[in-house]
Amino acid sequence: MRFASQGRVSLRPPITKLSASEPWFHSWPQDDQHAVVHLRPEPAGIDEFSSEQPYPAAAAAVRGEASVWNDWARDEWAFRIVTTIAVLEAVILIAAGISLSGILRAATGTILVDSVPAAAEVRIDGSVAGLTPLSITAEAGRRTIEVRHQQHTQTLTLTVVRGETSHGLVQFAAPAQSRVDASAEIQITSEPAAAQVAIDGVMRGATPVVVPDLTPGSHAVSVRGISGQVNRSIEVAAGRPQTLHVLLPASSASPARPARPADPGWISVGVSTALRVFEGGRFVGATGAGPIALSPGVHDLEFVNEGLGLRLRQRVSVQSDKTTTVTPSLPRGSLAITAEPWAAVWVNDERVGETPVGNLSLPVGQYEVLLRHPEFGERRTRVRVTADAVARVNVDLRPRPETP
């Protein structure tokens, strides 16, 4: 090949196929398969046919990085806002739940169920709640209470009032105090009087004397006076008071027979409440066991019932061979009686009306309540009336459906 002598010829390098792996390779847009792709190699230096112009790839890369950063920042702030809103909603829901639960808990009352004897099973609305005496919180409203002792069941209907206590008492047997009557007492007199009395070897005082709480059966009685001693054997029956009069032998030291002492007198306590009678700290008798023997004269007596908190004093004048009625002044209490559906009411065999009976004033003590309905029969229960609270009786006379 011939070259001109005065001219200079330069050959342009051949165009080669571009590779996407080259750092200077650029294509736009890359994700559009139908777009026209413009390929342009980035020159390393100054082209002899063009001036020095740097390719704007660096600027495009910076703009891409800035766009990615802005997108991430926007997503981060959106995440924080959504999270904050969710936390606030959770706090509001928790606070509302606590407030609502407090309101629901406030709409409750207390049920107090007791029975005689104790340890009876209590069912409230058909569910076992425990044994008497039982105190349990229940929702306000009418509640059916079943109290079961051995083979016997009694049903109460109580209305639970918000924030208040509803009481129910069921008695399957007579209270423990009444079982004292199962024992017996004996009144012992002697001629002459002031003789020492021993029963089964235990000193019980001087005649005339009343010895209470003797167990049924045979007992040995010894009466010793100045002139001698007399021994007797007696049979005591349950619940039956007895008397024993002993004639002591005449004194051998004196030929003359001593003057016959005055016959004792008697007092009768005119109240139905069980009371024990003391004189100078010495037990002399109890109500419900007949007249109490006392020597003629003035006596300062004390009438006591520990279960009712009673301790009353009264002076009594006793005359020989006469019975004096003593009526201690007892404090009074109130009795309220309700029944389902209704019932005629007797208290200690005295009719007081029909249910509901409210604020019935009675002397403190134990009472037997009889409720009678022409269709559902009758129900008896016992209640204790005290001076410090209203005694309540609530009985459901309707038959209980048989459970399979």
DSSP string, 77-110: HHHHHHHHHHHHHHHHHHHHHHHHHHHHHHSEEE
pLDDT, greater one: 127 or 14: 127
pLDDT of 193 over the 60 cut? yes
pLDDT for res 338: 92
For residue 119, the model assigns a pLDDT of 80
Q: b or e along 57-69 (b: 16 or more beta carbons within 10 Å of the residue's beta carbon)? A: eeeeeeeeeeeee
Least confident span in 68-72, 95-99, 201-205: 68-72
Question: Looking at the predicted structure, is the pLDDT value of residue 183 above 70?
Answer: no
Q: Would you state the pLDDT for residue 351? A: 92
Lowest mean pLDDT, pick from 29-33, 154-158, 209-213, 378-382: 29-33
pLDDT, greater one: 257 or 351: 351
| Residue 344 predicted with pLDDT over 60 | yes
Residue 48: pLDDT band with limits 50, 70, 90: very low
Cis peptide before 14 (omega within 30 of 0): no
Average pLDDT estimate for 174-203: 70
Q: Is residue 338 within a helix (H) or strand (E), and if so which, with residue range? A: strand 332-340
Give the model's pLDDT for residue 294: 83
% pLDDT > 90, the chain: 5
Q: Is the pLDDT of residue 389 over 60?
A: yes
pLDDT digits (tens, 9 = 90+) for 84-93: 888 888 888 8
